[in-house]
Amino acid sequence: MELERYDFKVTANRYLFISMGPKGRIKKMVKFDLHRGGRPAFYTLSFGDWLTGEMIDDKIITNNRDSHKILATVAATVVDFMDKNPDALILAMGSTPARTRLYQMNINKYLPMIGALFVVEGFIRGAWQPFKYGPTYTAFLLKHKKYLNL
């Protein structure tokens, strides 16, 4: 199933796109910041309204009535990034507990699709565990299934 998403422009590990809705055209950015080099490399995912340069506002509530399309676009950037960096690990978490819950609800909703490409783990009670429906996680870790076969 292909989800409706925005086109994005890629510059290094930065993905730029435009949200379009009743509040107008709003620039968004998804960043994959290298946290630790080596193999596997470890990246953190950041996302929000693009301010300038590499600065984003990850706490703003834009409410441009396109959140599903935005989250599908963020997911598409993850797929693109991981296809280019199959041995990378990506850490993702919301900037607030409410956003982390939103991300978890979407992982739950699309878990069969996500699970076809990635191994997903959730962080709970100080430890990583395979993602499953039910627990409330505080962060998520993605590994590309391609890497498991290298």
CATH number, position 143: 3.40.630
**Is 4 a domain residue?**
no
**Is 3 a domain residue?**
no
pLDDT band at 148 (very low <50, low <70, confident <90, very high): low
**Is the Cβ–Cβ distance between 27 and 16 less than 8 Å?**
yes
Q: pLDDT (tens digit, 9 = 90+) per residue, 78-124?
A: 999 999 999 899 999 999 999 999 999 999 999 999 999 999 999 99
- Please tell me the distance from the alpha carbon of residue 136 to that of residue 41, in angstroms, as a whole number: 26
3-state secondary structure of 75: helix
Domain enclosing residue 123, as ranges: 9-148
Task: Cite the DSSP H helix spans in 5-135.
Answer: 67-84, 97-109, 111-117
Neighbours of 118 (CB within 10 A): 23
**Is 2 a domain residue?**
no
Domain count, the chain: 1
